[in-house]
Amino acid sequence: MRRFGHLIDLAAPAGTPLRVLHLGGGGLTLARYVAATRPGSSQLAVESVAEVAELVRRRLPLTQPGRPQASRPQAGTGRIAVRVADARAALEQIPAGSFDSVVVDVFAAGRTPAHLTSMKFTAAAARALAPAGIYAANVSDGPPLAHARGRVAAVRSVFRHGCVIAEPAVLHGRRFGNLVVAAAGQELPIAGLTRRAAADPFPARVVAGAALDRFVAGARPITDADAEPSPVPPPGAFT
């Protein structure tokens, strides 16, 4: 979440409202952060599990008791809409250029579903973005990072610029963990991301440029035909 937050912070001048599409709603942590730091932002969170969406509605409501929860995003209102749907199906229905940021953080039993890992899925995300928009995805993998490299290769086949943010132990294949892949049609704020990631409680590196070329060297972009879910986390990976 902190890595995603850095991208949101650097996506536009401080306080400027953004249009954000969250694929994977969960507890709406990032959506609440955007609402707090960028008042007036219009956001849509797509959650595939109806039980999760209902639990969040009851236990972590977005509005004060007695006031209705937003049902659809409206520009300038600062509302967060929640839609129960498959992430890719919802994404493919989004009009072109609708969002300033698309954030992909979808897991089922600790794995990202296969149909959310391919070039075609990434191209759909790119289509939903405004020209200056930023794409970001949470990727989980362990040594030898074959899945992560394929995901990054898929993203780079669609976007002109990209980077990976991850802790050194994950990047060097010493343990299973998360990598955030960010991409855009325009240059990313690499310097700002590098400073912020290095200052995190769990410091991370930003891999871009020639270093990113080396990271994906030899990896083939994932296609719909060969897509597989992300690897099963080892026992205790996130505890």
Banded pLDDT at 237 (limits 50, 70, 90): confident
The answer to whether the Cα torsion of 202, 185, 83, 73 is positive or negative is: positive
> Regarding beta strands 99-104 and 129-141, do their DSSP bridges make them parallel or antiparallel, or are they unpaired?
parallel
* Residue that is written with structure tokens 């410091």 in the block: 203
Asked if residue 63 has pLDDT above 80, the reply is no
Distance CA 167, CA 152 (A): 16
- What pLDDT is stored for residue 67 in this prediction? 43
pLDDT, position 74 = 36
The whole-number average pLDDT for the span 190-203 is 98
User: What DSSP string runs through 184-207?
Assistant: ESS---HHHHHHHHHTSSS--EEE
DSSP string, 107-133: -BTTB--GGGSSHHHHHHHHHHEEEEE
Average pLDDT of the residues of the chain: 93
Give the count of alpha carbons within 13 A of 228, CB side only: 10
Rounded to whole angstroms, the Cα distance separating 68 from 49 reads: 21
Q: Check if the beta carbon of residue 179 is closer than 8 Å to that of residue 165.
A: yes
| Cβ neighbours of 188 (radius 10 Å) | 21
pLDDT of residue 238: 66
How do residues 66-106 score in pLDDT, each as one tens digit? Answer: 444 444 433 334 689 999 999 999 999 999 999 999 999 99
